[in-house]
A and B are shown apart, each in its own frame.
Chain A
């Protein structure tokens, strides 16, 4: 199942890991939700944790945070074993697990005050200032006094991110952080993640929005059916797949014949054009050959396969189908 598995070069034993799991497994009754997971998340990385709904991402996150006990295997966070070291290490970890959850009849600020009050490592004297800073960072300062129940889904999501930012963190575990956010909000979260990462914070972000992951992650892990089917740096994970050349023209058949003649692999006609895998051949040479051969080229592109294509090839099913 796993052409990409095996220890990737960027996450060998010598690398300082923010998250490491060994054979992490969770069974709920007869159902295996997570099966022998070997996560390796280097410190300082932005790790995109991908997988279809129901593939075990959230259960994995719950185990990493000590909410759910693994049936087998071990995990460590920032070098400390979980769940034994959870009390010691979790103050340095900000998390967003399976969507926001707050007391509906308290204001956004009062909800954060409550979480801050629960944190033994938080200094009550700086609470107000830290809470305001966190609210400001997610753009909620103006509506902090409103009751949570009056918040929109996007505002709730922002509040949950603010809660993860109440204290300085070495690791952020964000489960679907852009869920329910509008395009501006999504962009802001991406910028936020980038700015946190540039401060040295490791960010572990689960998502099923591939474009979002593609834009912000240095590392990827792909889950399918409770198993990790690929893991490594973004280029490593994507490296296995070759780019595709695509030409849009009125003469698809002719274009395909010329491309085959040039030695492109896997040539086929597509509606309004043809495509093939150039395998190292320069794009300009292909265009020149096409034009010489009398093909009216309307558009020519060479693209790496989208993460979505890769994802489907790895998980082997439609993206929104639960595994």
Chain B
């Protein structure tokens, strides 16, 4: 082969343009690689352990402090007749700090972490289109949100059912629903909370494109979250509340009414979607033309 002629056999190994390329474009290989990267990281595994430990601790604590028979008030014993209250209680507790922190860490790693390691420039020269990279990163954050919530719920359900059994569940409306129906309610609650966390992930993705320091991004995302909680608790600025991402996060309780009360949940999902779209676009606007000098 002459020096002036690039190797021709290589070209024939490449996929033909057109349909094959389209199917490649929709390939989930990068997303799967991303999830392996997240799941394989020791720190993230430790984080999941912490998320899982909370419901287990709560279940044990409640079990030890509430005698199942005897003359105590009936209310607690009817709650504790169904182990699924454990994951719900754990979600309530962890939604304040641990779950947002988990998303903040993943989001910090997503772009700022890659920039910090320098791997970002190698991904972009593979090449991975910048839009495709952001979409993949956001996809991994959505999966991460589902993952975190699922771990809390699964650990809580296992601990709760082991300690309190599978009796009927007392809804917030005072009626009882069967264990099977209660499982579906818990799944709905999990999806609702994961949607909120995914929206926070979009905020995090944007913040992550602003810096090359993953820790700085994580801290900034937590500051955003905590400021939102604080603002949401100040009645004097109630006009702002409907615009806050966290405002309706705790509305998942409405899914435990009989029948479920949808208004607040729908409002929460609208806000989640709004944040995801706005911050997703901001992240794109920032990242698409950014000079990668890391």
List A residues at the B interface (Cβ < 8 Å).
16, 43-44, 62, 65-69, 86-87, 90-91, 93, 95, 97-106, 113-115, 117-121, 123-124, 163, 168-170, 197-202
Contacts and interface: CB of A to CB of B under 8 A. Distances in A.
B10 interface: yes
Nearest to A119: B126
Given A62-B291, A118-B123, A124-B29, 8 more contacts: A43-B6, A44-B2, A66-B127, A67-B124, A106-B40, A118-B30, A170-B6, A200-B2
B228 to A, nearest CB: 32
A288 B157 CA distance: 100
Nearest to A113: B33
A6 B222 CA distance: 57
Interface stretch (B113-121, B177-185, B263-271): B113-121
A113 B123 CA distance: 12
B118 A118 contact: no
Nearest to B32: A117
Interface in B1-53: 1-7, 9-10, 13-15, 21, 24-25, 27, 29-30, 32-33, 37, 40-42
26 contacts: A62-B121, A66-B124, A86-B127, A87-B127, A87-B129, A97-B125, A99-B118, A100-B118, A101-B118, A101-B119, A102-B122, A105-B40, A106-B40, A115-B123, A117-B30, A117-B33, A118-B123, A120-B25, A120-B27, A121-B15, A123-B13, A168-B7, A168-B10, A169-B10, A170-B10, A197-B3
* 4 A-B pairs with the lowest CB-CB distances in the bound complex, closest first: A101-B118, A168-B10, A117-B33, A90-B127
Nearest to B118: A101
B29 A117 contact: yes
Contact of B41 (A67, A105, A113): A105
Contacts of A90: 125-127
Contacts of A106: 37, 40
A113 B119 CA distance: 13
Contacts of B127: 66, 86-87, 90-91
A21 to B, nearest CB: 17
Given A103-B117, A103-B119, A105-B41, A118 B128 contact: yes
Contacts of A102: 117, 119, 122
| A91, A101, A198, A202 pick with most chain B CB within 10 angstroms | A101
Given A67-B125, A105-B42, A200 B1 contact: yes
B37 A103 contact: yes
Contact of A95 (B13, B41, B125, B293): B125
B289 interface: yes
A114 B15 contact: no
Nearest to A46: B3
Interface in B32-78: 32-33, 37, 40-42
B237 interface: no
B117 A115 contact: no
Contacts of A91: 14, 126-127
B293 A43 contact: no
A258 to B, nearest CB: 46
B12 to A, nearest CB: 10
